[in-house]
């Protein structure tokens, strides 16, 4: 069981500038460095290389240029321009046109109106090239603003955008009902942020139960839902539920993180399910990396064994 203490520990590390500097120096330096298990690389070229390898294995992908919680409008504008440039480079490379982004990277915590306009700029750059854009969900204080920004652009005719819901948040059931009614594409995950008990389930069993309940509602009433989990039990329940209700494998997909449970990724693809990998890259990879370790303590042992073998 993943305790709240474990998550708190790794979220604390994620905020440490000293540890981030050390990790940035050594974590991605070589192909065998520990960060590369979960991060495709620091550059767009490395991300494209990883994307081609994923497509060669018969799987789908979404690219995420890491970076979040900018503190100035200038930083938000710079991040927006990076994404617009990334769109052109994806088209040029001929890889799948699917990206993920965080709204705090576009200035959500600085000025919501500017963030909305930054996302609009990205969506307009995407429009001629048939991209799909997924807005990642962040910690609970940003959830309502994230959904509001999405709704604003949805109502202005941008229908190539989806969102993410977290089963650990108590509000997600009502949020899913509204999104299903609007035919918005939703990715369901458990949630990686440390949250207070007033807004989130604290026990793994409760998070899993909520995940299954939301997953079933998505499969029955959602629009091409994305089931984001590496939990074999929940994956099995999704497959069984879909089969029992006559839901074909073309009507939903499984989504998994780059580098996590590659055995399950391959097995699902071999069974004929659509599997999409979330492929993060960029120099600001450390906070993301810490959250992955906090989600699954087994990841820590994997990294430690890799470091010892390298030494």
pLDDT digits (tens, 9 = 90+) for 12-62: 544 555 555 545 544 555 554 556 778 999 899 999 999 999 999 999 999
Q: Output the pLDDT for position 286.
A: 72
**Is 25 a member of any domain?**
no
Confidence of residue 307 (pLDDT cuts 50, 70, 90): very low
**Is 102 a member of any domain?**
yes
pLDDT value at 168 more than 50? yes
**Is 10 a member of any domain?**
no
Q: Rounded to whole angstroms, what are the CA distances from 203 to 59, 198, 227, 249?
A: 32, 13, 20, 31
Q: Output the pLDDT for position 95.
A: 98
pLDDT value at 246 more than 60? yes
pLDDT value at 311 more than 60? no
Is the CB of residue 40 less than 8 Å from the CB of residue 280? Answer: yes
Catalytic: which of 134, 187, 237, 276?
187
Q: Output the pLDDT for position 18.
A: 53
Count the domains in the chain: 1
Q: Output the pLDDT for position 36.
A: 76
Residue 242 is encoded by which pair of tokens?
């879909």
**Is 199 a member of any domain?**
yes
**Is 23 a member of any domain?**
no
Q: Rounded to whole angstroms, what are the CA distances from 7 to 2, 4, 20, 88, 248?
A: 8, 5, 17, 37, 36
Per residue in 55-87, pLDDT (tens digit) is 999 999 999 999 888 999 999 999 999 999 999
311 is catalytic: no
**CA-based torsion, 162, 168, 171, 174: positive or negative:** positive
Q: Output the pLDDT for position 210.
A: 98
Domain that holds residue 205: 40-284
**Is 2 a member of any domain?**
no
136 is catalytic: yes
pLDDT value at 9 more than 60? no
Per residue in 89-106, pLDDT (tens digit) is 999 999 999 999 999 999
Write the CATH number for 147: 3.20.20.220
Per residue in 123-139, pLDDT (tens digit) is 999 999 999 999 999 99
**Is 71 a member of any domain?**
yes
Per residue in 211-237, pLDDT (tens digit) is 999 999 999 999 999 999 999 999 999
- Complete DSSP assignment for 63-93: EEE------SHHHHHHHHHHHHHHHHHHHHH
Across the chain, mean pLDDT equals 88
**Is 8 a member of any domain?**
no
Is the CB of residue 69 less than 8 Å from the CB of residue 104? Answer: yes
Catalytic: which of 64, 134, 136, 276?
136
């Amino acid at each position: 069981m993943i305790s709240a203490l474990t998550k708190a520990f790794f979220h604390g590390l994620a905020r440490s500038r000293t540890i981030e500097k050390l990790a940035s120096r050594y974590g991605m330096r070589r192909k065998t460095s520990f960060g590369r298990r979960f991060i495709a690389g620091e550059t767009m070229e490395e991300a494209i290389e990883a994307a081609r390898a994923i497509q060669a294995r018969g799987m789908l992908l979404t690219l995420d240029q890491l970076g979040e919680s900018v503190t100035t409008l200038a930083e938000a504008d710079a991040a927006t321009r990076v994404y617009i440039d990334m769109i052109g480079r994806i088209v040029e490379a001929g890889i799948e046109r699917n990206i993920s982004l965080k709204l705090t990277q576009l200035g959500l915590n600085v000025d919501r109106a500017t963030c909305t306009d930054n996302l609009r700029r990205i969506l307009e750059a995407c429009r001629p090239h048939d991209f799909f854009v997924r807005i990642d969900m962040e910690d609970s204080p940003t959830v309502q603003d994230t959904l509001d920004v999405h709704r604003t652009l949805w109502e202005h005719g941008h229908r190539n955008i989806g969102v993410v819901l977290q089963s650990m948040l108590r509000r997600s059931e009502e949020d899913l009902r509204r999104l299903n009614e609007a035919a918005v594409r939703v990715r369901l995950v458990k949630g990686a942020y440390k949250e207070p008990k007033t807004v989130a389930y604290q026990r793994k069993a409760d998070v899993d139960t909520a995940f299954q309940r939301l997953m079933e509602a998505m499969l029955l009433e959602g629009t091409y839902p994305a089931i984001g989990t590496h939990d074999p039990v929940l994956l099995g329940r999704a497959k069984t539920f879909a089969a029992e209700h006559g839901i074909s494998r073309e009507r939903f997909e499984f989504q998994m993180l780059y580098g996590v449970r590659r055995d399950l990724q391959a097995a699902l693809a071999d069974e004929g399910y659509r599997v999409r990998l979330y492929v993060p890259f960029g120099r600001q990879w450390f906070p993301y990396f810490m959250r992955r370790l906090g989600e699954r303590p087994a990841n820590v042992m994997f990294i430690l064994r890799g470091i010892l073998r390298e030494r």
